Amino acid sequence: MITRRDFSFGVAALSLSACAAPDLRTMGRQSTSDLPLDLRPVPNAEYEQWVEGFKIRAREQGLSENTLTMAFRGTGYLPGVITRDRSQTEFSRTLEDYLAIAASDERVANGRAAFARHRNTLATLEARYGVDATIITAIWGLESSYGDRQGNVSVVSATSTLAFEGRRGAFFEQQLLAALQIVQSGDIDAARLTGSWAGAMGHTQFIPTSYQALAVDFTGDGRRDIWSDDPTDALASTANYLSRNGWVPGLSWGKEVLSGTVSDAVIQPQSGGPRFEVTQNFRVIKRYNNADAYAIGVGHLADRIGGGGPLRSAFPPDASGLTKDDRIRLQNRLTALGFDTEGVDGVIGQNTRRAISAFQRSRSLPVTGEPSVELLRQVIQ
């Protein structure tokens, strides 16, 4: 069984909104000026020494001098990659917050539009691989917002930085070597080999070794181009990935449980929240990203793209005593008062906390930046 479960993705912590990867629109490597400062190469003598040692090992694996020269041109040590890698476990969301972003009205609407645009291709993929077309579309939506946020970080810079850092050095050296082999094979020019801060690539965010094993040239142009404006190869590669990992044609991912059904197949990721009866295909989705929230997000988004409605079961109030409706009222009211939360989704993120802090400061209240029942009462007075 081939899996990405040992690879850490921003999407596992749901980097699906403002924190998602920058837009990738051009055919060449974008200027590093488009990236946050900490994702631009900086001098690091120890890293550069490590790269020279790696190149010796890469040559022994059959990498040509020309490939190494081209692939490492303009690359370097990215301090922000290390920061993000070390801080991933500090970020967690409730399933309610996760789904509020993963299956937001915008993502559902964009998914239905993407599904309609590529209906014929998706139908062909479903017939070929047996994977539900809405599932393929939902993974595309969660991984890159239907291609709009593929990431523009150099994969060579990202994977070499992580390999050098050493926490998962062997794994990322393997990814770096695979990335260079992809360039040498001619599937993509070195300048276009871009992706997320952790080296995941293309419309559906394949890591280099998964790309090597399971990416397909469905268009027949001789290249497995998962980066192209045409998403066909990427969507086909995702369908192939799921099929090869045990997808059962005709079987749903699961469903929301509305009665008192109890079985080993029923899970409740958030205490007091909806319960789901899941299937083998739910576990196959987790081969793509080993998190219950991710698999539910894919399944629920797929259902919504296919015309289904929101979950029917309610989530309990959060730790502050607020329901999602309360949090939406709070965001709306703060924005109306001039403390812009930069979006209204019921998810308390950095923008909402900044708005709360500004409101508290304006009222000479203790500045906590945290929502509460009392705060809601204050903003609606």
The per-residue pLDDT for 34 is 77
310, two tokens: 């929101």
The answer to whether residue 9 scores a pLDDT higher than 70 is no
Task: Tell me how far apart the alpha carbons of residues 122 and 204 are, in angstroms, rounded to a whole number.
Answer: 14
Distances (CA, A) of 258 to 25, 56, 233, 239, 340: 43, 59, 38, 30, 37
- pLDDT per residue over 164-218, tens digit each? 998 899 999 999 999 999 999 999 999 999 999 999 999 999 999 999 999 999 9
Look at residue 30 and tell me whether its pLDDT is greater than 50.
no
Q: Looking at residue 137, what is its pLDDT?
A: 98
Band (262; pLDDT cuts 50, 70, 90): confident
Predicted confidence band of residue 51 (pLDDT cuts 50, 70, 90): very high
Q: How far apart are the first and last CA of the chain?
A: 58
> pTM for the full model?
0.89
- Bridge partners, 42 (sequence order): 77
Q: What is the 3-state secondary structure (H, E, C) of 206-272?
A: ECHHHHHHHCCCCCCCCCCCCCCCCCHHHHHHHHHHHHHCCCCCCCCCEEEECCCCCCCCEECCCCC
Average of per-residue pLDDT across 252-280: 93
237 vs 211: CA distance, rounded Å: 8
